[in-house]
Amino acid sequence: MRELSLHILDLVENALTAGADRIAVRVEESTAADRLSIGVRDNGRGMPEEKIRHLEDPFVTTRKTRRVGLGLSLLAAAAKRCDGDLAVTTQPGRGTSVRADFRRSHIDLAPMGDIAATIGVVLSANPDVDFTYTHRVDEQHLTLNTRELNSELEGRALSDPTVLHHLTVAIRRSLKNLTSGTTNRSSPREGKYDKTDL
């Protein structure tokens, strides 16, 4: 995947396929620790133990296990490439939690990309899902909670394209505020040059 936000979209689609109606996405970036982590937690049907053991191997999975096949193995490879790892915990019937961890300054780390587009796309197709997004960069953080949004917008309005358009614009603006003043991960090349400033 060219962007971390595409991995996030993929993880959220996994959660939705697992029947989740509560999904929490959490991105944490720390300049001091030089780490970036992505977590997606859902209340879907979870996975049986034997699938967990194989989920980083794309060749073990078949169409039947497609849900945990390609996507997680790609993410695991991306994390390992960047001095990180992938951790999955699951409880059948209770939900799954996926956490990918990266070295933030690693040259192979894909840019975050258009996270607002990822969120917009998720909300558009799943207005009834209770979705939270938290993005922390050092001391600053951004939160978005669809339950709050829904109560403010009255009913199913979140799936309305016009609402979504304005919502994604608002998210982009908030994220820009969040990341300004810290090492910019929006482009790997910029990140590389930023290191000389330290």
Partner 1 sequence: MTKLTYEDLERIRDKAGKSIALRLGGADTFITVHMGTCGIAAGAREVMKALLEAVSVSGRDGIQVTAGGCMGKCATEPNVSVTIAGSQPVVYQQMNAEKMQKVFQAHVLEGRVQAEFVLS
Q: State the Cα–Cα distance between residues 4 and 117, nearest whole angstrom.
A: 12
Contact window for partner 1 (CB under 8 A) among 29-37, 41-49, 77-85, 168-176: 168-176
Q: What spatial distance separates the first Cα and last Cα of the chain, rounded to whole Å?
A: 29
Q: Residue 46 in contact with residue 95, Cβ under 8 Å? A: yes
Among the listed residues 182, 158, 132, 185, the one whose alpha carbon sits nearest the alpha carbon of residue 25 = 132
Least CB distance from residue 196 to partner 1, whole Å?
27
Span 22-61, contacts to partner 1 by CB under 8 A: none
DSSP summary character for residue 140: E
Contact window for partner 1 (CB under 8 A) among 82-90, 96-104, 143-151, 185-193: 143-151
The answer to whether 174 contacts partner 1 (rule: CB under 8 A) is yes
Positive/negative CA dihedral, 144, 39, 159, 92? negative
Span 115-134, contacts to partner 1 by CB under 8 A: 117-118, 120-122, 124-126
**Of the residues 32, 49, 50, 162, which one makes contact with partner 1 according to CB under 8 A:** 162
Burial class (CB in 10 A: 0-12, 13-18, 19+), 63: exposed
Buried/exposed code over 86-103 (b: 16+ C-beta within 10 A; e: otherwise): bebebeeeebbbbbbbbb
Judged by CB under 8 A, the number of residues near partner 1 is 48
The beta-strand segments (E) located in the chain are: 22-30, 35-42, 85-91, 95-103, 130-137, 140-145
Least CB distance from residue 73 to partner 1, whole Å?
9
Contact window for partner 1 (CB under 8 A) among 30-38, 41-49, 102-110, 141-149: 141-149
The answer to whether 87 contacts partner 1 (rule: CB under 8 A) is no
Contact window for partner 1 (CB under 8 A) among 6-14, 47-55, 85-93, 188-196: 6-14
The answer to whether 192 contacts partner 1 (rule: CB under 8 A) is no
Q: Two tokens at 37? A: 């982590």
Where does this chain bind partner 1 (CB under 8 A)? Answer: 1, 6, 9-10, 13, 16-17, 63, 66, 69-71, 74, 114, 117-118, 120-122, 124-126, 140-144, 149, 152-153, 155-157, 159-167, 170-171, 174-175, 177-178
